[in-house]
């Protein structure tokens, strides 16, 4: 009775918990291993609003708005300039700073950039940090998933084995 309950419900339950934990560990471990090599992290993204939206945002505050720094486009580093230009052209206003980012603090606060006679409001949208996980997380996660799946499949496997033993006499 107890053994039946243990095999039907207990072991598969522990297996499911292992499987669930293994999914998280394996995904993070696997992604952490390839993320940097694939260039999927490390370059922060900035968002650039159109001049019209910039004016709308500023006028919305009336006289009591925040005091924003204004940076001329030429004062930005090459990587910042490239990201800003990408942001102006992109439909989602986003560009990645792939290189030196000396004005990072200003972008974190939100900054006005003077570019070709227009003023653009720009902010840091994402720091895009790389996942830092222990390299052993991937094998551990995969092992947990395998053991977990075995746990979940225990009842049918056990029933089949019992039937096999009965057939053996």
Q: Which residues are near other proteins by CB under 8 A?
A: 8-9, 12-13, 16-17, 19-21, 23-24, 27-28, 31-32, 35, 40-41, 45, 53, 56, 60, 91-92, 125-131, 152, 155
Our CB check for other proteins shows the closer of 12 and 71 to be 12
Our CB check for other proteins shows the closer of 64 and 72 to be 64
Distances from the Cα of 29 to the Cα of 36, 38, 58, angstroms: 12, 15, 44
Nearest approach in angstroms of CB 28 to other proteins is: 6
Nearest approach in angstroms of CB 131 to other proteins is: 4
Nearest approach in angstroms of CB 111 to other proteins is: 19
Our CB check for other proteins shows the closer of 78 and 163 to be 163
Q: What phi, psi does 96 have (nearest 5°)?
A: -100, 135
Nearest approach in angstroms of CB 75 to other proteins is: 27
Nearest approach in angstroms of CB 73 to other proteins is: 23
Q: Closest Cα to residue 125, out of 153, 86, 152, 163?
A: 86
Q: Where are the alpha helices (DSSP H) in the chain?
A: 2-5, 11-35, 51-60, 78-89, 104-109, 137-152, 154-168
Our CB check for other proteins shows the closer of 76 and 152 to be 152
CA 95 to CA 81: how far, in whole Å?
10
Our CB check for other proteins shows the closer of 130 and 157 to be 130
Q: Closest Cα to residue 150, out of 7, 15, 13, 22?
A: 15
Task: Note whether 107 and 46 are within 8 A (CB).
Answer: yes
């Amino acid at each position: 009775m107890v053994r039946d309950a243990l095999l039907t419900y207990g072991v598969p339950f522990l297996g499911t918990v292992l499987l669930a934990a293994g999914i998280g560990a394996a995904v993070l471990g696997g992604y952490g291993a390839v993320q940097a090599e694939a260039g999927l992290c490390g370059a922060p993204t900035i968002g650039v609003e159109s001049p019209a939206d910039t004016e709308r945002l500023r006028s919305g505050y009336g006289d009591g708005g925040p005091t924003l720094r204004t940076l001329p486009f030429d004062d930005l580093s090459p990587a910042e300039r490239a990201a800003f230009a990408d942001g102006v052209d992109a439909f989602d206003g986003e560009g990645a700073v792939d290189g030196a980012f000396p004005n990072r603090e200003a972008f974190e606060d939100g900054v006005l950039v003077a570019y070709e006679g227009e003023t653009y409001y720009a902010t840091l949208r994402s720091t895009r940090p790389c996942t830092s996980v222990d390299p052993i997380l991937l094998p551990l996660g995969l092992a947990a998933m395998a053991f977990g799946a075995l746990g979940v499949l225990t009842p049918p496997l056990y029933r089949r084995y019992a039937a096999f033993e009965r057939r053996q006499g």
